[in-house]
């Protein structure tokens, strides 16, 4: 099994398109006002936005986008007016993360984990 597609809700897909293009995703489907799909430039996964009448309450979802040069990417986005809730910092789980929200308040984390994403020191062994 391979996770290769994530869809998030949006009250205004057209506004969301501008935000995600700014992050660096490539728009490949534009079916306004209801839907848009992007291609992630690394790895072949896709990311889409679908129109909803109202956003759900509660914690919601968190979407992670991995960036090899995280600090540089964050600086580029700040220069383009993107606001971050948390600047890049090292986490105890051995990832470097920066946190922000999209126009619909979906939580996004730009991060770099490298080898630790799949193989942290505490990874279970095959027989566990």
- Residues of the chain below pLDDT 70: 128
Dihedral angle of Cα 68, 38, 8, 70, to the nearest 10 degrees:
10
Enumerate domains of the chain plus CATH numbers: 5-117 (3.10.180.10)
Question: At a CB cut-off of 8 Å and minimum separation 6, what does 124 contact?
Answer: none
DSSP result, 58-104:
SS--EEEEE-TTHHHHHHHHHHTT--EEEEEEE-TTS-EEEEEE-TT
Q: pTM for the complete prediction?
A: 0.90
- 73-93 pLDDT, tens digit each: 999 999 999 999 999 999 999
CA distance 51 to 9: 6
């Amino acid at each position: 099994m391979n996770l290769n597609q994530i869809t998030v809700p949006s009250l205004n897909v057209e506004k969301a398109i501008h935000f995600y293009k700014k992050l660096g995703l490539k728009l490949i489907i534009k079916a306004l006002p209801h839907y848009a799909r992007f291609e992630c430039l690394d790895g072949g996964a896709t990311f889409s936005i679908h129109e909803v009448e109202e956003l759900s309450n509660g914690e919601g979802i968190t979407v992670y986008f991995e960036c090899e040069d995280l600090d540089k990417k964050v600086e580029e986005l700040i220069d383009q007016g993107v606001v971050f809730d948390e600047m890049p910092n090292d986490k105890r789980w051995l990832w470097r993360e920066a946190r922000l929200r999209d126009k619909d308040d979906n939580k996004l984390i730009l991060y770099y984990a490298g080898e630790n994403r799949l193989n942290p020191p505490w990874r279970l062994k095959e027989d566990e």
